[in-house]
Amino acid sequence: MPSFPFQEDHDMIREAVKGWLSDWEDGGKTLHRVAKEGQGFDRTAWEGFARDQGMAGISIAEQYGGAGMGLLGRTVIMEETGYTLFSAPFFSTCVLGADMIEAFASEDDKADLLSKIASGDIIISVLDGRNQLTLKNGALSGVVSPATDAAHADLILVAAYDEDNNVALTGYSPNTAGLSVTPFASIDPTRSQAKVFFENVALSDGQAIGKTDNTAFSQILQIAHGALAAECVGGGQRCLDMTLDYANQRVQFGRQIGSFQSVKHKCADMFIALESARSASYFAASPDLDDDPVAKFEASLIAKNYAAEAYFKIAGDAIQMHGGIGFTWEYPLHYFFKRARGNRALFTSSEDGFQMLADQIGLAQNTTDISGE
Amino acid sequence: MPSFPFQEDHDMIREAVKGWLSDWEDGGKTLHRVAKEGQGFDRTAWEGFARDQGMAGISIAEQYGGAGMGLLGRTVIMEETGYTLFSAPFFSTCVLGADMIEAFASEDDKADLLSKIASGDIIISVLDGRNQLTLKNGALSGVVSPATDAAHADLILVAAYDEDNNVALTGYSPNTAGLSVTPFASIDPTRSQAKVFFENVALSDGQAIGKTDNTAFSQILQIAHGALAAECVGGGQRCLDMTLDYANQRVQFGRQIGSFQSVKHKCADMFIALESARSASYFAASPDLDDDPVAKFEASLIAKNYAAEAYFKIAGDAIQMHGGIGFTWEYPLHYFFKRARGNRALFTSSEDGFQMLADQIGLAQNTTDISGE
Amino acid sequence: MSIREELNQWMLENLTGEFEQIRWRGGPGDEDSSPELRRAWEQKFGEAGWIGLQWPKEYGGRDLSLMDFVEFNEEYARHGGPGRAGHIGETLMAPTILAYGSEAQKERFLPGIKNGTELWCQGYSEPNAGSDLSNIKTKARLDGDSWVINGQKIWTSLAHESDWIFVIARAEEGSKGRDGLVFLLVELDQPGIEIRPIHQISGTAEFNEVYFTEAKTDATNMIGDVGEGWKIAMALLGFERGASTLGQQMMFQNELNLIIKTANENGRAKDPTLRRRIAEAHAGLKVMRFNALRMLNGTQDGSTSKEGYISKIFWATWHRDLGELAMDVIGADAEIIEDELSPLQKLFLFSRADTIYAGTNQIQRNIISERALGMPKEPRGSANG
Amino acid sequence: MSIREELNQWMLENLTGEFEQIRWRGGPGDEDSSPELRRAWEQKFGEAGWIGLQWPKEYGGRDLSLMDFVEFNEEYARHGGPGRAGHIGETLMAPTILAYGSEAQKERFLPGIKNGTELWCQGYSEPNAGSDLSNIKTKARLDGDSWVINGQKIWTSLAHESDWIFVIARAEEGSKGRDGLVFLLVELDQPGIEIRPIHQISGTAEFNEVYFTEAKTDATNMIGDVGEGWKIAMALLGFERGASTLGQQMMFQNELNLIIKTANENGRAKDPTLRRRIAEAHAGLKVMRFNALRMLNGTQDGSTSKEGYISKIFWATWHRDLGELAMDVIGADAEIIEDELSPLQKLFLFSRADTIYAGTNQIQRNIISERALGMPKEPRGSANG
């Protein structure tokens, strides 16, 4: 029986992906290589995964050449790529990019772009430029940072306010005049980050994908970001697994350290946080919510922020439980800790996320803007 | 050698007070009696403590008949009354009342009132009515709640804004026309609380004690409330002592529960919180700060809020470590838990307290008022 | 008509009149409120056929599916249905009798539960066997056709409102730990039983001590055999993690709603720190609900799936934190008691027990680490381990 | 002139020129920065007579009182004085030699420390003796006039920048735990010693592994006697909780000031949640300072007063939390590395080690519960306990 809420085919995909990614990661060796190369991106592996394994299209509708396995399908992938820190643009391209196109593009553009995503032939980076970019005389200026996976994207999807304060979504080639992408080193070396500079980039130089109002755009963006919860769950599971392996093997004071109550209880707390985050993640991907965008938005908000907090706590505890080896570079645990820290801040901070949730559940708000910037 | 930062005479006072209060409390029996009587006040005991034992004047200057033992003197008393939940108005009268008079009264009033405090002949309740009372045609109206120890006070000292937005301090007899005191049951049954109603209470019907600007008044009030830190430390020490006694005596799974790491580590955490709170409390009472009112204000702010948070955490953990017996009425631990909860909210909430501290250390503030009411 | 609609209809028609006053009442920490009215409600509820829905049809149940039962519980709580006086009988005793009882025991005891006429309580804990449940000292000896019981139980919820108690006792002289125990059903109204209330931190008394002095029960009132007491007691605890947790969560939702309402009314909803804590509480409740669905869909036989192990510590800790949040949301007035403790004040005080009874948080972490994570057991002490 | 004024004058005149670039640098997590310049600074500092102020006058000290030494440290930190390359020598090695060393050892080793010409590191931990310090496997055997050492030490701070190491090793074949150990002083620059850096989570390498293969030291370089190694090692750790903690706190204050500045500049100072966390960090630092004063006034002999036991876990946890706060205050840009890690990024990453090295938080809680609270020890396992 497949584990709730998944179906048999999800479980099969998980088994296949798990093995492939485990080979890729090679017990941390590949993470060291990726960190050394400094790109946060393993192109060969991505092509193997996306094209040869056919994983890029897991949640793309069947009519566009995907497997049509819905949010639960990509939850499986994100969990397993999180477990191995697979350094590839699945989230940027197949979640963020695909969701934007699915929601806002014309049927023709969908047919074109979604099938390119499904076949692994395109890498997309999505930039939310609503607060960073200004539109003047039909051209965009400003800087968007951090811009995940922009450094090797074939298509950069940019959201910015138009003259009517709607959100316009435009697709640019990275070679567009006035647009430049500068990669930067991130604390998390397994994810590709960049700054994207816009100097009078004409809207007409890009491909107009669609328009929508601000609220609808925020909802779709949040639902896509909800998939990060699964990445957090996968990473958290990895941290717990590494900790259990270590605790059962390491002997101090004449006992496995895993027999000490302080270690056992910390592992129990990690497990509680992990399974809670898993419930939050699965809830947001639950097909029950498919017809209720507001409920799905709220569930995604909960999932992303709850799971990101849990992952950071689990990863920090994992380092602590490992003692000295936990904070060495050689032992790959720190990559997970860094990813956890990055995920807490990616898109919205947990603080802003929970404040948004407070609005959502009907708590009266202050009228003043209290966030920084 | 006396323990830093105390002197020999402080240690002597502590020994004397400790024994007397322990006899009073009688292993929790007296707390049950006080709770049953519903006054939160043991008059006989107070008279014994204040008059016969001469403890009311511990920090009053010698020229007014006190012992002149400074803030460290009253720290000793507050710690020990906190250890036993001594149900008497030492804090209201000998700390809050005395500080107000010391800071704002004329020399004549000081001579009169401070010596009455020192001799244990007067009970004072101090009401901060700045936001609750309005002045119209020379008379005050409104309700102040909670008003600690007002139900049995001989003198009610009321702070309210005057026409110039200064703070006027006026002393009233509880029999003053238009003033009425209604005691209420509090979750913490060992402390006396009331609501005090003002219906056109003429300023001229009271004794004008003094005037000051708002900032100076807030400072003095905060410094007085800093003494609550010592009460929290005393109460926290009692919770830890009860927990250690229990953990060393109770056997489960064939071992004293105090030998389990989860219990040991929780007790260690309680001790860390307690000793930190103690440092905060002693720091605020340190004679080094006597010439620096701003530093003393800040230290009091830290002490009260830091120690109140610590006490609440310690008391909650103490209940948890006791298991079933910890949440029974019969076992007196819950009185300490309730006092801890009350102290967190008394005067200012910890949240407001830390926000004030943020101002104090130079963090830019928002202009909007974010607190409730 | 779905079960939800059926119940909705019935609640609209029946949670009326005198029963209005127990709407939203009788939850954890409030179980002492209006006991007689709640007993009457239990009978009315039973007469309407709402008790034992998941039981097999041959015992008067409807063999209701899990998801339908979930809906049923949610609907009940949505109406503010009173805390069920018969919940220990329905959710713990009945599944145990169905799984381990004889045909005669099923016939004797299931109808009283189903009709709401016989209320049950639980006799597990003892003064010296709190977290260490196997350290049972209460003794039972067979004397002719009767078991004769001597000893003391503690933390027995609602014993003073119940008709029967199930008891684990030591039947073999000199046996230790999990061996030699029996699981007995005992009528409370008899000279050999004395019930003394334990007043809690909230001043109320849901819990009791129950003293057995030559108390008797018929020899036929043993579930399983001599020496099987531990196995049956543990199976019963397994049922505690069942679908009733979803009903409990709806009670929690009601409490959270009250907190949100309070915060909006007194303006503290605008305080970012409280906003965040309330939002986190809301998120926690959603997590709890989905975790329960995972758990219930994972196993349906009283055993515990891996994620099921987090259920108790998660809700207990969440609920305790909610109590602290409630007081902070009320603000300075939180200390004032008008007439009696308000529901949020009760929540604050009673929820301190949540992380202790039915396995403290510390015991839960032991269980999780050993059973869900397979970590090594601690060495036992030498005293009597 | 007070010691504070004396030092103020000197710092104004000397922390200048090339040394400007190491102002504020070289604290924990930043100890790899400009090692040569900091070695030069240590010598300059020593030449000025600032090292060994608390030592007796006969060994070149000034017998400085505790409170004066506190002021001295505060003043040094106030100027952003560089992390001291010689701090292990001055604060750990020297007091140990003064307390347990022979007259000859004092004459041989104190001047190098005092002049800033000989830097020390610590050889305690081993790969299989992390928290369980007594499980030492490194061996020493006396061969003529020399001790010959074989084994491996780990987590040795700054071994690659040091001249000497002090080592605990097992001198009696077959001895266990705390018995049979010696405390040896060993010169690092010799063929029998290999130093390998351990790269940390921050990418920098303060810590090292040190391998001993037939390494030698003169027989006279043993402090105490064979079998006294444990006693001396523990006494040395006692000195770790000395007045130098106050200097450390001034470093912390500088970090906190940088966070406050950042928050004011980027506007996050107005976020109530961050405001509260920053205010709590400030309160924690004041508490730490007063706790240190209580501790230092309580005992002045290297033993630990009751409140002294909380010192390590308190600062370590506070500092780790400060690292997380720093990143949250920076906001979305916190991930961006410009050229090299910024001081606040280093703080975040390196402080993960704080709650682990020199006794993990878990070990600290054991120590507190057993030594400060007198709670029972745990039963040891049977394996080799």
In this predicted structure, what is the pLDDT of residue C29?
A: 75
Kind plus residue range of the DSSP H or E element containing A212:
strand A207-212
Are A185 and A240 within one domain? no
Q: What's the one-letter identity of residue A323?
A: G
Rounded Cα distance, D264 and D270, in Å: 8
Q: What's the one-letter identity of residue C384?
A: N
% of chain B with per-residue pLDDT over 70 = 98
Are B85 and B164 within one domain? no
Instruction: Return the bridge partners of A212, or none.
Output: A167
Are A190 and A320 within one domain? no
Are A265 and A342 within one domain? yes
What mean pLDDT value characterizes chain B? Answer: 95
CATH number for the domain including A304?
1.20.140.10
Q: Does D361 touch chain B (CB under 8 A)?
A: no
pLDDT band at B369 (very low <50, low <70, confident <90, very high): very low
Q: Which of A34-48, B1-15, B127-141, D120-134 has the lowest mean pLDDT?
A: D120-134
Report if residue D330 sits inside a domain.
yes
pLDDT in tens, B26-40: 999 999 999 999 999
Q: Nearest Cα to A233, choosing from A283, A278, A300?
A: A278
Report if residue B313 sits inside a domain.
yes
In this predicted structure, what is the pLDDT of residue A372?
A: 35
Are A241 and A354 within one domain? yes
Q: Which of A116-120, A135-139, B21-25, D290-294 has the lowest mean pLDDT?
A: D290-294
Which positions of chain C have pLDDT values less than 50?
301-302, 382-385
The angle at the Cα of A111, spanning A105 to A116, to the nearest 5 degrees, equals 105
Domain-ending residue, one of D70, D85, D100: D85
Rounded Cα distance, C24 and B247, in Å: 39
Are D346 and D246 within one domain? yes
Q: What is the DSSP letter of D338?
A: B
ipTM of the complex: 0.94
Q: Answer whether C381 sits within 8 Å of D379, measured CB to CB.
A: yes
Are A245 and A156 within one domain? no
Are D252 and D366 within one domain? yes
Residue C69 vs residue A235, higher pLDDT: A235
Are B24 and B158 within one domain? no
Report if residue A3 sits inside a domain.
no
b/e code B349-360 from CB counts within 10 Å (16+ = b): bbbbbbbbbbee
Are A230 and A349 within one domain? yes
Domain-ending residue, one of A163, A192, A212: A212
Report if residue B2 sits inside a domain.
no
Report if residue D97 sits inside a domain.
no
- Residue D75 belongs to domain spanning: 3-85
Check: CB of residue C259 under 8 Å from CB of residue C278: yes
Are C248 and C362 within one domain? yes
CATH number for the domain including B112?
1.10.540.10
How distant is the Cα of D320 from the closest Cα of chain C, in angstroms? 22
Report if residue C247 sits inside a domain.
yes
A-chain residues near C260 (CB < 8 A)? 361-363
pLDDT in tens, A290-335: 889 999 999 999 999 999 999 999 999 999 999 999 999 999 999 9
Q: Does A265 touch chain B (CB under 8 A)?
A: yes
Structure tokens at B68: 């002149």
Q: Does C356 touch chain B (CB under 8 A)?
A: yes
Are A235 and A114 within one domain? no
Q: Nearest Cα to A372, choosing from D377, D329, C243?
A: D329
Report if residue D257 sits inside a domain.
yes
Q: Does D261 touch chain B (CB under 8 A)?
A: no
Are C317 and C368 within one domain? yes
C-chain residues near A263 (CB < 8 A)? 375
Report if residue C309 sits inside a domain.
yes
Mean pLDDT, rounded, for A100-120: 97
**Segments in chain D forming alpha helices (H):** 3-14, 35-47, 66-78, 87-88, 94-100, 103-114, 229-239, 244-266, 272-298, 311-330, 343-350, 361-367
Q: Answer whether B327 sits within 8 Å of C381, measured CB to CB.
A: no
* Average pLDDT per 10 consecutive residues for chain D, totaling 385 residues: 94 96 84 88 96 93 87 88 92 94 97 97 86 87 96 92 96 90 97 95 91 98 95 83 74 93 96 94 96 79 72 95 97 90 94 91 94 86 38
- Residue B351 belongs to domain spanning: 217-360
Report if residue A48 sits inside a domain.
yes
How distant is the Cα of D272 from the closest Cα of chain C, in angstroms? 7
Instruction: Return the bridge partners of B181, or none.
Output: B196
CATH number for the domain including A137?
2.40.110.10
Report if residue C278 sits inside a domain.
yes
Scan residues 76-95 of C and list those with Cβ closer than 8 Å to D. none
Are B133 and B266 within one domain? no
pLDDT in tens, C269-300: 999 999 999 999 999 999 999 998 898 887 55
Task: Give the residue on A whose Cα is nearest the Cα of C256.
Answer: A361
Are D345 and D255 within one domain? yes
Tokens 């809301």 correspond to what residue?
A: C282
Report if residue C378 sits inside a domain.
no
When divided into structural domains, chain A yields a total of 3
Report if residue A82 sits inside a domain.
yes
Report if residue D113 sits inside a domain.
no
Residues of chain B contacting C, Cβ within 8 Å: 145-146, 184-188, 193, 251-255, 259-260, 262-263, 316, 319-320, 323-324, 326-330, 334, 337, 341-342, 345, 349, 351, 370-373
User: What's the N-to-C CA distance of chain D in angstroms?
Assistant: 57
In this predicted structure, what is the pLDDT of residue B288?
A: 87
Mean pLDDT, rounded, for A253-281: 95
Are D254 and D183 within one domain? no
In this predicted structure, what is the pLDDT of residue C381?
A: 52
Report if residue A183 sits inside a domain.
yes
Q: Does D272 touch chain C (CB under 8 A)?
A: yes
Report if residue A294 sits inside a domain.
yes
Domain-ending residue, one of B160, B181, B212: B212
| Ranges B114-118, B361-365, D62-66, most confident | B114-118
Domain-ending residue, one of A77, A102, A118: A118
D-chain residues near B366 (CB < 8 A)? 270, 272
Are D311 and D357 within one domain? yes
Are D297 and D359 within one domain? yes
Residue B104 vs residue D245, higher pLDDT: B104
Are D172 and D61 within one domain? no
Are A237 and A257 within one domain? yes
Which positions of D are catalytic? 240
When divided into structural domains, chain C yields a total of 3
Alpha carbon separation from C324 to A273, B306, B313, B348 (Å, rounded): 21, 17, 11, 17
Q: Nearest Cα to D233, choosing from D188, D184, D266?
A: D184
- Residue C363, phi-psi category: left (phi > 0), alpha (psi -120 to 50), beta (remainder): alpha
In this predicted structure, what is the pLDDT of residue D250?
A: 82
Rounded Cα distance, B305 and B65, in Å: 32
Look at residue C187 and give its three-state secondary structure.
strand
Are D257 and D336 within one domain? yes
% of chain A with per-residue pLDDT over 70 = 98
Domain-ending residue, one of D202, D227, D252: D227
Task: Give the 3-state DSSP-derived string for C53-118, with helices as H, strands as E and coil as C.
Answer: CCCCHHHCCCCCCHHHHHHHHHHHHHCCCCCCCCHHHHHHHHHHHHHHCCHHHHHHHHHHHHCCCC
Mean pLDDT, rounded, for B149-177: 97
Are B227 and B345 within one domain? yes
Tabulate helix, strand, coil % of chain D (nearest 5): 50, 15, 35
Report if residue B140 sits inside a domain.
yes
In this predicted structure, what is the pLDDT of residue D383?
A: 34
Q: Does A371 touch chain B (CB under 8 A)?
A: no
Tokens 């301090």 correspond to what residue?
A: B169
Mean pLDDT, rounded, for B96-114: 97
Radius of gyration of chain B (CA): 21
Structure tokens at D83: 């992390």
Are D252 and D223 within one domain? no
Are C281 and C305 within one domain? yes
Tokens 């001249």 correspond to what residue?
A: D163
CATH number for the domain including C313?
1.20.140.10
